[in-house]
Amino acid sequence: MTDISSPPRSGSLGTWLRDPNPTSPLQARLHQSWRMWRKLRRNGSALLGLAILLVIALAALFAPLLATHDIFAQDLGNRLALPSGEHWFGTDELGRDIYSRLLYGARITLYIAGLTAVISAPIGLLVGAVSGYFGGWVDTVMMRVTEIFLAFPSLVLALAFVSALGPGINNAIIAISLTAWPPIARLARAETLIIRRSDYISAVRLQGASALRIIARHVVPMCLPSVIARVTLNMASIILSAAGLGFLGLGAQPPSPEWGAMLSSARQFILSNGFVAAAPGMAILLTSIAFNLVGDGLRDVLDPRHD
């Protein structure tokens, strides 16, 4: 008897993935993933953003191998040196190699952005799903709290939180996470309001499923595609907030090679030695643009209304 849960031994794997009539849950999931990849592959800007993010991630991962100098070693006799074969992006005001510090700074930036997304996305998804499913006073209370957070610019609110918590990377992550979940909650609530009126939700409810089970097993999975796309788009604002806190001295502390802190220390040399500030500024710009391009592509791919 042939095992329908695995691809056939004879024939092409591509044919098995492209089969519009899957014979097993595994084949159905892989077929759906294959279709999403095809749609994403046709989006040139999304692929460009994905390539930029891949380069940045690899640079951060292999920073110890790619770095040419000690990121903390100072050489005051060679301060503000122009880009050269020895120092590809030049040196900063303390004679430290800018290229090597950018590589290690990518680690800090991706760490902040990734951990903030891991913290804020579940909070926003849970608040939005519970609010939209129950409605009534639960929805009113949760949405009023959400609107209070949305009433303030995210960077201003993050400044308030990190000022209360104290400077540092971990406190900056907490502060940015507290400002990043409200937009996700509003999106999840809007999706849940549509999902809870679906026939299959009514059928599950008639079978005696509890509200917690319906939210966890049926509502949250349906909200995930939109939330993933929104979180990816939010990465740019998270990176800018992290750089802003570092620029103001409330994020990563010197001599940490965080891009915002590097930009802060270089601001006094913008007119005389612009390359010192240009390197971290371009790194922040490219990373933010890349996340926006990928987020736009994921939104088109994961949105069921786009065929």
Q: Which of 258, 110, 131 is nearest to 190 (CA)?
A: 131
- Predicted pLDDT at 199: 87
Q: Which of 37-41, 158-162, 169-173 is the least confident region?
A: 37-41
pLDDT at position 28 over 60:
yes
CB 217 within 8 A of CB 65: no
pLDDT at position 148 over 50:
yes
- The amino acid that residue 69 corresponds to is H
Dist. CA 26–CA 122, nearest whole Å: 26
Tokens of 80: 């503000």
Task: Answer yes or no: is 176 within a domain.
Answer: yes
- Average pLDDT (225-232) is 89
Task: Answer yes or no: is 256 within a domain.
Answer: yes
Specify the length of the chain in residues. 307
**Angle between helices 98-134 and 220-247 in degrees, nearest 10:** 140
- Average pLDDT (267-277) is 88
Task: Answer yes or no: is 25 within a domain.
Answer: no
- Predicted pLDDT at 15: 72
List, for residues 277-304, the tens digit of each pLDDT value.
Answer: 999 999 999 999 999 999 888 887 776 5
DSSP per position, 43-61: -HHHHHHHHHHHHHHHHHH
Task: Answer yes or no: is 214 within a domain.
Answer: yes
Task: Answer yes or no: is 160 within a domain.
Answer: yes
- Average pLDDT (142-161) is 90
CB 171 within 8 A of CB 245: no
CATH code (residue 253): 1.10.3720.10
Give the burial class of 12: count Cβ atoms within 10 A of its Cβ; 0-12 exposed, 13-18 middle, 19 or more buried: exposed
- Predicted pLDDT at 17: 65
Task: Answer yes or no: is 126 within a domain.
Answer: yes
- Average pLDDT (37-49) is 83
pLDDT at position 50 over 70:
yes
Dihedral angle sign, alpha carbons of residues 4, 6, 8, 13 = positive
What is the widest separation between alpha-carbon atoms in the chain? 77
Supply the pTM of this predicted model.
0.85
Task: Answer yes or no: is 24 within a domain.
Answer: no
- The amino acid that residue 73 corresponds to is A
| Percent above pLDDT 90 for the chain | 51
- Average pLDDT (240-265) is 90
Give the ranges where the chain is alpha helix by DSSP (H): 13-18, 25-41, 44-61, 63-66, 98-134, 136-150, 154-165, 169-195, 199-206, 211-214, 220-247, 259-266, 274-302
CA 129 to chain centre: 21
Confidence of residue 225 (pLDDT cuts 50, 70, 90): confident
Domain span at 221: 105-307
Total number of domains in the chain:
1
Mean pLDDT for all residues in the chain: 87
- Predicted pLDDT at 30: 72
Confidence of residue 31 (pLDDT cuts 50, 70, 90): low
Task: Answer yes or no: is 17 within a domain.
Answer: no
Give the burial class of 148: count Cβ atoms within 10 A of its Cβ; 0-12 exposed, 13-18 middle, 19 or more buried: exposed
- Predicted pLDDT at 202: 86
List, for residues 213-223, the tens digit of each pLDDT value.
Answer: 999 888 998 89
- Predicted pLDDT at 273: 87
pLDDT at position 21 over 80:
no
- Average pLDDT (184-213) is 89
pLDDT at position 94 over 60:
yes
